[in-house]
Amino acid sequence: VQLQASGGGLVQAGGSLRLSCTASIRPYGRFIMAWFRQAPGKEREFVAAYKWTGGSTYYADSVKGRFTISRDNAKNTAYLQMNNLKPEDTAVYYCAADTRLIQSSIGYDYEYDYWGQGTLVTVSS
């Protein structure tokens, strides 16, 4: 599975951006697509995930109420709509996917087999 991420950029605090992640296959079964981010000098952290079958969504506490993950089935694409961005959201954002994860593993980056390239999000104050 190949993942193509896009949509990063520079935005002022309070602004919005939408990230996209397109998979090279049609998602099926227990397919999960997620976003992680890594800020300078910090470890990569979980942001949000979408379970393709059933449409369950999962969020880190730090982004709940501001970020929304969604999908477009026809395009094999997941989106991360980021609103009310804060300077602390500045990071390289990575999309990831897996076809076998159980719910308890969704937040752990080492559980994902497939990764897209990172896209930089910079939020200025």
> What's the mean pLDDT when you consider all of the chain?
95
- Residue (of 6, 16, 8) closest to 85 by Cα position: 16
Nearest-CA neighbor of 88 among 19, 49, 40, 36? Answer: 40
58-86 pLDDT per residue, tens: 999 999 999 999 999 899 999 999 999 99
Rounded CA separation 30/82 (Å):
25
> Higher pLDDT residue, 102 or 112?
112
Three-state helix/strand/coil letters over 7-39: CCEEEECCCCEEEEEEECCCCCCCCEEEEEEEC
- Decide if pLDDT at 103 tops 90: no
Residue 101, pLDDT above cutoff 90: no
Q: Give the pLDDT of residue 119.
A: 97
Percent of the chain with pLDDT over 90: 90
Is 90 exceeded by the pLDDT of residue 107?
yes
- Residue range 6-25: mean pLDDT, rounded: 97
